[in-house]
Structure 1
Amino acid sequence: MYKPSDKRYDNMTYNRVGNSGLKLPAISLGLWNNFGEPDSFENQRAMLTRAFDLGITHFDLANNYGPPAGAAEENFGKILKKDFAGLRDELVISSKAGFHMWNGPYGDWGSKKYLVSSLDQSLQRMGLDYVDIFYHHRPDPDTPLEETMQALDLIVRQGKALYVGISNYDAEQTKQAVKILKEQKTPFIIHQASYSMLNRWVEESLLDVLKSNGAGAIAFVPLAQGLLTSKYLKGVPKDSRASKAHIPFLNEKDIKEDVINKVIELNEIARLRDQSLAQMALAWVLRDETVSSALIGASKVSQIEENVKTLDHLHFSSDELAKINDILKDN
């Protein structure tokens, strides 16, 4: 039976999310693509328990994580019951809805009907009474934003989520969503945004919008689907995300020569910092205080252990930042 380490809080950094009372570990673990039916259940258990021993208290899910959709929440629920009994109050568990989940007109996007139903299903799969954070996963072009935000407000008032957030909203959409939620006095605290050295769109205005409204960000794909690691410097390994047929966002055609050249230059800076490229990339997204946490994925325990070592060296000199910005000037 799993017994958590007594030293699990000794070395992790916990950052406040905006102006809220919630703190997240600087490194959070996402269950996107390695917690489905094709993946070893014992490896899933090993990753979750080791992550917790290292101080990772935040586990991020969504209704459609798998494959198939829902499988990650089902597996997570089994592991919660088996290994984390009595530890619920030490965990921050998040889920989302907004992408296709079931057939018919009520299984996608952002209606109140879909969001409430989806969260009910997620809670059942995980065996939970509530999640700590519930996100709308993407903007819905056809449902009024007021309805989507009212659904988040309702979910909090029903006690099914403590806080709510949004994901994949641009800066203007975020500004409008925050305004509606503030009027409802709903605890919107966080935006889950794609952000990495190779994808800096949030710096244009989104981070400023969040900061001015007392909210925080959590960066997903901070390693650019593995491109910001040493994994792809010499081709595509068989066990990489780019080699998996069920991973929709990265494949071999994305690994272009100009990108690899930038990665090689960044890797040299990381070497001089006595860090892996992945560790430097995680530290880089955490350099802005608006970013409370970097959300990693993992397929093995050793990846989690290496990523947590990021926290040993978070500081960048002005010279390092200048060199990195020069490399990334087109991103």
Structure 2
Amino acid sequence: MTYTPDPDRYKHATFRRCGRSALVLPPISLGTWQNFGDTSPFETARAIVRRAFDRGVTHFDLANMYGPPPGSAEDNIGRILRKDFPGMLRSELILSSKAGYEMWPGPYGIGASRKHLMASIDQTLWRLGTDHVDIFYAHRPWPDVPMEETMAALAQIVRQGKALYVGVSSYSPERTRQAHALLQQEGLPLLIHQPSYSMLNRHIEAGLLDTLEELGAGCIGFSALAQGLLTDRYIGGKPLHGRALEQGGTFNASFLSEDNLRNIRSLAAIAKQRGQTLAQMAIAWVLRDPRVTSALIGARTVEQLDDSLDALENLSFTAGELHEIDQYAQEAGIDLWRNLSSL
């Protein structure tokens, strides 16, 4: 069936400026980390992307190794672009991708070298079937790679017209400052930083947000729902479905500790008092700070997507609510990227 976008898709849509740049992003962006690979039904992914766009989501976040298998999320988004977003519709989208984690065998398939980044962007564009991405990230810090080389490669990618903007992910405040300074020497801004951020993982409040504000860079928090912990799925304890039951994934059984579950149930009770689901309150909480440009979410179904997007109906918190949330929005030991951001 031919897709015709909702003509009223921007009627109620809002956008937030990305740092001090001229670019704006939707307050909620759609990520493709876990649910757009070949192990997920293609037509479900297609329906999610269509629904997101119809509700004003213009930013779709990828990485070369997203799947599974690696590369398949970009392949599938490329198929969706060709089927549903041909021609001028591409101009309404912000497509972002990243490179840095292992993607292909051998010494050049991983890292932050010019070799890896230049090969990665070409492969990404081929899979997506587009001539450029809007944002291209260095996906993670690599302490044994000179940052001068990494930032020079990102600048070359922009000069070649293969990306419009560049960003970094999981960098410490100190490395972020260095990346910003090196990009400035190349005549480019550091547009955006993508760290993990949620009510159960608040490390960026201890310096990174202040750094980004000072540098004029935006912030998009990934894993805003803490890999699904901040949903109603785990309130009753062991779930019947979801990432906790997947073998070999990034969800660790230790995440479901009694302390974490106790805090999650308490947060869910506060959300209920606000007339929200836990997921909706978790997203609204991430967006409470104006330095956060966008919250990055995933969705397995259109219904999950709609529930998350409905968070935008109530983004305000009273001082009393924030004080109560702080009692339970505690470090949960779920940050798989903490060692990276401390480099």
**TM-score of the aligned structures, taking structure 1 as reference length:** 0.98
Q: Is the 8 A contact 2:201 2:330 kept in 1?
A: no
2:317 is matched by which residue type in structure 1?
Answer: F
1:67 is matched by which residue type in structure 2?
Answer: P
* Structure 2 counterparts to residues 219-298 of structure 1, below 5 A: 219-247=221-249, 249-298=250-299
Post-superposition CA distance 1:224-273 (Å, at most 9, x none): 011111101123334301112252x2133321100010111111111111
Secondary structure in 2 matching 1:188: coil
- C-alpha separation in 1, matches of 2:272 and 2:154: 44
Q: Is the 8 A contact 1:236 1:243 kept in 2?
A: no
Q: Is 2:123 the counterpart of 1:116?
A: no
Q: Is the 8 A contact 1:190 1:215 kept in 2?
A: yes
1:127 is matched by which residue type in structure 2?
Answer: G
Displacement of 1:207 after TM fit?
0.4
- C-alpha separation in 2, matches of 1:133 and 1:255: 34
Name structure 1 gaps, 5 residues minimum.
none
Secondary structure in 2 matching 1:291: coil
Q: Is 2:108 the counterpart of 1:94?
A: no
Give 4+ residue runs of structure 1 displaced > 4 Å after superposition.
Answer: none
Q: Is 2:205 the counterpart of 1:180?
A: no
- C-alpha separation in 1, matches of 2:100 and 2:281: 32
What residue in structure 1 maps to residue 338 of structure 2? Answer: none
- C-alpha separation in 1, matches of 2:232 and 2:44: 23
What residue in structure 1 maps to residue 341 of structure 2? Answer: none
Post-superposition CA distance 1:150-186 (Å, at most 9, x none): 0111111110000000001111111111111112111
- C-alpha separation in 2, matches of 1:306 and 1:232: 16
Q: Is the 8 A contact 1:12 1:26 kept in 2?
A: no
Q: Is the 8 A contact 1:243 1:251 kept in 2?
A: no
2:16 is matched by which residue type in structure 1?
Answer: N
1:194 is matched by which residue type in structure 2?
Answer: S
Displacement of 1:38 after TM fit?
1.1
Post-superposition CA distance 1:55-99 (Å, at most 9, x none): 111000000001110000001101100011121000000000000
- C-alpha separation in 2, matches of 1:263 and 1:165: 32
Post-superposition CA distance 1:290-316 (Å, at most 9, x none): 111000001000011111111110001
What residue in structure 2 maps to residue 26 of structure 1? Answer: 27
Secondary structure in 1 matching 2:293: strand
Secondary structure in 1 matching 2:65: coil
Report sequence identity in percent. Answer: 54
- C-alpha separation in 2, matches of 1:11 and 1:244: 37
What's the Cα RMSD here? Answer: 1.1
Partner residue of 1:137 out of 127, 136, 139: 139
Q: Is 2:130 the counterpart of 1:128?
A: yes
Displacement of 1:330 after TM fit?
5.5
Post-superposition CA distance 1:120-177 (Å, at most 9, x none): 0000000010000000000011110110010111111110000000001111111111
- C-alpha separation in 2, matches of 1:179 and 1:200: 26
- C-alpha separation in 2, matches of 1:330 and 1:243: 23
What residue in structure 2 maps to residue 41 of structure 1? Answer: 42
1:262 is matched by which residue type in structure 2?
Answer: N
Q: Is the 8 A contact 1:97 1:115 kept in 2?
A: yes
Partner residue of 2:208 out of 206, 209, 227: 206
Secondary structure in 2 matching 1:165: strand
